Amino acid sequence: MQGIARAEELGCQCIQIFVSTPRAWPSYAKLIPLNKPAKPAESKNCEDNLPDEDCSLFVQKLKEAKLEAPIAHSTYLINLGSSDAAQWQKSLDALVVEWRRSDQLQLNGLVMHPGSFTNATPEAGLENIVRGVKAAVKLVKPKFAKLLLENTAGQGSCLGWNAEQLGYLLKEIGSSHVAVCWDTCHALASGYDFRTKSGLKSMLDELDQHGVLEKIEAIHINDSVKDCGSRVDRHEHIGLGCIGEEGFKLFLKSKPFKGLPMYLETEKGVDDEGVDWDLKNLQTLRSYAE
Ligand SMILES: [Zn+2]
């Protein structure tokens, strides 16, 4: 609920929230926006998401605030790429809890990093992700919220950093309930140099070739502290990082991305002059898009 008020105050058009504490495993007691008493310990996480009246209040508030395309970001602990059976099951349970809650809140989507293969192989990791997402689709049966697989910076053994891997996942999962969220910071860090016309074109071509472009339904709009190909995921304020003004201008005006909902994931707080960073980043983006 605080997120909605904040978005209204800033003049946002869309919003990304968390439906559970981002750096903890979701449990019944920790779901957002409602905190309910925990269920008995023997209950499985998967069943922890019961209908509640507060969801409808949230939906109503969202409508009143005229915020379009609300999405959530899943907890960072989920790793469906894991070859460790217990870890994989825990990740599936958590995904199901968060996806169900996102669906109850009538969000457009739930963003998830595909996962990492840790000490196995990329192929095994991708197979594990396919198996996990397929199982989650069956359990959740979403009516509103799609699962949005986010491209990663490709740090460590993280999967889903290129069009080929994302395309493979989409094809193998084969569900209309699964789409893509494209993060500009991760794209640059993973090696897509879209800061020039020709670079942008080759990124779009590659995304198209692998069937990813048409599945992109949300954009995480962040500048990057680290340069192209660094494989380091560090978000920077708009225009102050390695993507820079020209890079964003090209990106914002490119046909496939224009009109998609964009979400800032830059650092909060105020600059040296006391100006709110969110406000400043929004203004910068709007001036670039003109
Ligand atoms: Zn992101």
Are residues 278 and 238 in contact, defined by beta-carbon separation less than 8 angstroms? Answer: no
CA–centroid distance, residue 42 to ligand 1 (Å): 34
CA–centroid distance, residue 159 to ligand 1 (Å): 14
CA–centroid distance, residue 111 to ligand 1 (Å): 8
Q: Could you tell me which residues come within 8 angstroms of residue 227 by beta carbon, excluding any fewer than 6 positions away?
A: 188, 189, 242
CA–centroid distance, residue 83 to ligand 1 (Å): 24
**What pairs with residue 147 in β-bridges?**
110, 178
CATH topology of domain 50-289: TIM Barrel (3.20.20)
CA distance 226 to 74: 24
CA distance 215 to 179: 5
Are residues 20 and 31 in contact, defined by beta-carbon separation less than 8 angstroms? Answer: yes
Pairing of strands 223-224, 235-236: antiparallel
CA–centroid distance, residue 20 to ligand 1 (Å): 17
CA–centroid distance, residue 150 to ligand 1 (Å): 7
What tokens appear for 112 in the block? 């998830």
pLDDT at 34: 57
What tokens appear for 54 in the block? 């507060």
**Number of C-beta neighbours around residue 214 at 10 A:** 12
CA distance 68 to 14: 5
CA–centroid distance, residue 49 to ligand 1 (Å): 25
Give pTM, 2 decimals: 0.92
From first to last of its 290 residues, what are the pLDDT tens digits of the chain?
788 989 988 999 999 999 887 888 887 666 766 545 445 444 454 445 545 667 888 888 898 999 999 999 999 999 999 999 999 999 999 999 999 999 999 999 999 999 999 999 999 999 999 999 999 999 999 999 999 999 999 999 999 999 999 999 999 999 999 999 999 999 999 999 999 999 999 999 999 999 999 999 999 999 999 999 999 999 999 999 999 999 999 999 999 999 999 999 999 999 999 999 999 999 999 999 98
CA–centroid distance, residue 120 to ligand 1 (Å): 25
pLDDT at 51: 54
The one-character DSSP state at 274 is: S
What tokens appear for 155 in the block? 């740090």
Are residues 266 and 222 in contact, defined by beta-carbon separation less than 8 angstroms? Answer: yes
